[in-house]
Structure 1
């Protein structure tokens, strides 16, 4: 659509569904930055960008203003900022791009919970329509082991708080993140946390130790034994059996997923379970023919 008239502070990340969105960095890095599984922002020191620098980036895209319909606010957790700092940025985005349909960002339950209902409604009215929340797990023991800084209760309270004011949420669960010792409760409680929030979008991906398994173990609180493919599928089956969603768009199609599932929960639940069971019966021999592979 256009070149890039600004210089991003890399590395830069965004959800797959924001591939055609304009990305504006409001913060650099992540204010929490302790999760054992996440290496996205470990090379950055968390910084709040100056408003004039953010405004300059927005202004740089004025020549293509009519073409920009979606904006994603980066980096890790812009909602850590007060509304006093966020609202001028949202207002500037709205004033610059006349065909804007949606603004979105990553968000943590804790940062959502720190805002009042009035704060969240103000942000929603200003166009912040979609929050991407990495839940990772609904199990408190697993969340503690991966140093997430959240609990089942904080996750449910925060996401439901955002949804009550009209924001949509897209949430993610990580298969295998707790390893063999946590797999049962991780599967069951992750389903239960989704049941309690009924998000508009949900997805799963499989734990990937980007810096190696030993590095992940060094950041994991407790003993960790990695799940093999069959155990991953078993965990997914337990999760899917317990899910009771009404109208959630579900995707399991990240590059880490050997099992690709796409549909709506709950109407596609039985189809998903049949696909999972088929994969369990033949996890290696017909993987690509049965469910897509990589």
Structure 2
């Protein structure tokens, strides 16, 4: 399989590549953006950023400012899409928080969705393997995860369900306990069925309770206090995840920062992007 380069853009002295390819996991064409910083190294560490509901790879690429900090600290960036597109499944475009733009980073098991909606395998297996062939200077053995909202959930879930694979993890306003919030109930119920045991295999609050791997870096989370999904709708629930980590004795701990006055938008994300970049640079071996 090969990638089509749809655009090659100079940015912050590096190169941003807008790519597409045919996915074996989703059986659809998928878009992905990759930023490669200026570097003389033959092995550049990688940060994968998972976006939230409704987003394409372009949202974070254009609004997060992560590329500036990728150049500053010396890591590459991968911005996957959030779902298959154009699978032609009845109902996939009926609502903004399910289906297209809302793959929820799980592998669907229900009959209607299981052929295409396999975003867990796509992100953590297929995409990284194929990108390593396209970009031989990127070190996909020295890799970390971050994400926002649904993507923050995907980052936490992906880190905890792949012990030792990722050097570090962080999240902006993550859906931290999806088994008990409306977004999680809607997406897990449709993609995974009604058996809650299947939900818990992806839920960070349940995964951290059973996480025993020796690699336990500090988990960094930023949450805006004026985020309606946090303050009113209770979709996010980061404190429940923090409590679960404490009960589990997770050694690195969860560093939760509730930022006064900030909402759920990319204004919030871009404000704290450097703190997350510094966090990952340390674990990727790029800084003290």
Structures share fold, TM-score greater than 0.5: no
Larger radius of gyration: 1
Give me the TM-score of the superposition, normalised by structure 2: 0.37
Q: If each structure's strand is expressed as a fraction of its own residues, which one has the higher value?
A: 2
Give me the TM-score of the superposition, normalised by structure 1: 0.36
More RCO (CA 8 Å, sep 6+): 2
